[in-house]
Structure formats: C-alpha cells, structure tokens
C-alpha cells in the first residue's frame, strides 16, 4: 500500500497576545492508501489543526503536508471533511445541504437527488429532508453534516469527532456503516474521536497525541481483523488494546492541557 497522506515534521503556531502559541510541534505521520486511522488525545492537543492541514484549510508554519505525494495547496472534493462544528449552510434545507457538493460534480440532477436521498436515509433524516438546520436537534445537525460528506463519496474522509453528539445506538449503527463503506469502497479515513472504544474499534492504527506542545505521543497498531464485529468488541484482545490506548492518552494529565 502506498502513502496517501503524509505529514513531515509539521509545526503550527498561532499568534496570540504577547507571542506565539505552539499548537503542533514536529508531527510526522504517514497514512497509507485505504488505511483507517483514528486520532485521540486530550482536548486542545491539536487534533483538529492536524486534520485541517490534511484538508488544506490550515497551513503549517513549518514542514510539509503531502497527499498522494504532492504538497497540499488547498481543499478539494476528493478529500471530504466533517467539521467538529457541523458547518451546515443555515439557509439550505437538509436536502439542499446534502446536495451542495453533488451539484458541483458533473452528475445529472436526477443522480444528485438520488445520491442525496440515499445519504439522508443512511443517517436517518428522511423525515427531515426539507427542514432548515435551525429546526434540527444537535445530533440531527451532526447527521446532516455526515450525510453531506458521504454524498460526494470522496476518496479520503477527514472526520472531526463526527459521532460526538450522537446517542450510543445511532453511533454504533453509523460506525458499522462507515466501516462497511470503507471496506467495500476502499477509502482512506482519518477520524478524530474522544471515545477510546470507538478509536480502537474502527482503526487499523490509533494515533495518540499529547498536548503542550501538540505532538504524537504513540501510535498503537490495532492488530484486529476486519470486519469488526460485536464479538471483536467484546474480545479480551480488544480490551487489552483499549487499555493500552487509554494508558497512552492518560498517563498525561488531562486538565492541564
């Protein structure tokens, strides 16, 4: 497998009152083609910043971010992004939000509609297809954002806590759907989560980040086979890896992050 996304000694600092704040320091990471990587780490450790770089929305202060071997110069529809803050277009209904990206492709109107319909069904918003975002609950907004990213069916999915606002069952269902799509259509996924269970269940590798300054602490290889089943989730091996990751994250002192 070749490398899809490559971070090479990436640094990021932000100007703040009285100086610079180092958000990321010397991050290097290769994500292989068709790999599923999850990223965990304490709040504020730079996960969203790292994902933003792969998306082409954040420029590194130093270092290189490559996708398919060439430097990232901006966003592109082949890299779908689900934002931590949903970022729905408030003036469009659920359906039109989902169709937004589709209409930018060369697909026919009927095909757009069809695909949007399918994505909306997938996240269980069929009855709310014509609702405006302001009338949706938090979880429904998040599902709409997921549908929008899924609809264009990008090669790379960059997902920032996509299931954070969902109840456990919806979450499990969407996890399974995501894994199914990933394995069938061979996509590359970079997935940020706070849920260690989720991180281990989904990923081939879990990237554990540390804070102050933001950097990669450990990368845990999840040796478990796909497809991941409920059985695997309950296996002692899963529990062991889960504890490893937990330990890697939380030998750190969270609340000073």
Partner 1 sequence: MSVVTVPDETTPAQPAARSRTGRTLTLNIAAVAIGLAGWSALAAIGVQGLPGPIVVAQRAGELIADGTLAGDVLASLRRVLIGFTLGTALAVPVGFLMGWYAVARGLLEPYVQFFRTIPPLAIIPLAIVLLGIGEVPKIFVIFLAAFLSSVVAAFQGVVGVDRTLINAARVLGASDRTIFIKVVIPASTPFILVGMRVGLGSAWGTLVAAELIAAQEGLGFRMQQAQLYYDLPTIFVGLITIGVLGLAMDRLLLLADRHLTAWQERR
Ligand X SMILES: Nc1ncnc2c1ncn2[C@@H]1O[C@H](COP(=O)(O)OP(=O)(O)OP(=O)(O)O)[C@@H](O)[C@H]1O
Comparing CB distances to partner 1, the nearer of 100 and 246 is: 100
As given in the structure block, the two tokens for residue 238 are 């899963």
- 174 in contact with ligand X (CB under 6 A): no
DSSP string, 163-229: TTTS-HHHHHHHHHHHHHHHHHHT-EEEEE-S-HHHHHHH-SEEEEEETTTBEEEEEEE--PPSSP-
**For Mg ion, the closer CB: 52 or 56:** 52
x-or-dash string of contact with ligand X, 201-220, rule CB under 6 A:
-------------x------
Decide which of partner 1, Mg ion, ligand X, none touches 46; Cβ closer than 5 to 8 Å per partner kind. Answer: ligand X
Considering only 21, 118, 137, 230, the residue that binds partner 1 (CB under 8 A) is 21
Binding residues vs ligand X (CB under 6 A):
14, 16, 21, 23, 43-49, 84, 135-140, 214
Binding residues vs partner 1 (CB under 8 A):
15-16, 18-22, 25, 55-57, 61, 74-77, 79-81, 83, 85, 87-92, 100-101, 104-105, 127, 132-134, 148, 152, 212-213
């Amino acid at each position: 497998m070749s490398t899809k996304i490559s971070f090479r000694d990436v640094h990021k600092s932000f100007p703040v009152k009285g100086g610079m704040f180092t958000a990321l320091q010397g991050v290097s990471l290769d994500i292989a083609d068709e790999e599923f990587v999850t990223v965990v780490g304490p709040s504020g450790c730079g996960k969203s910043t790292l994902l933003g770089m792969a998306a082409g929305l954040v420029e590194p202060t130093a270092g290189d971010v490559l996708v398919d071997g060439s430097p990232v110069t901006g966003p592109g529809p082949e890299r779908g992004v689900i934002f931590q803050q949903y970022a729905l277009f408030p003036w469009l209904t659920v359906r039109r939000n989902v169709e937004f990206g589709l209409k930018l492709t060369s697909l026919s109107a009927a095909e757009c509609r069809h695909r949007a319909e399918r994505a909306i069904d997938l996240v269980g918003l069929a009855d709310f297809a014509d609702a405006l975002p302001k009338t949706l609950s938090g979880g429904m907004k998040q599902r709409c954002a997921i549908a929008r990213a899924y609809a264009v069916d990008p090669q790379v999915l960059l997902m920032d806590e996509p299931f954070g606002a969902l109840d456990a069952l919806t979450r499990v269902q969407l996890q399974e759907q995501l894994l199914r799509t990933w394995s069938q259509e061979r996509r590359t996924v970079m997935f940020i989560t706070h849920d260690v269970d989720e991180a281990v269940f989904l990923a081939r590798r879990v990237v554990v980040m540390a804070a102050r300054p933001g950097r990669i602490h450990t990368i845990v290889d999840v040796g478990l086979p796909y497809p991941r089943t409920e059985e695997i989730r309950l296996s002692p091996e899963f529990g062991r890896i889960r504890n490893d990751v937990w330990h890697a994250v939380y030998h750190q002192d969270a609340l000073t992050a």
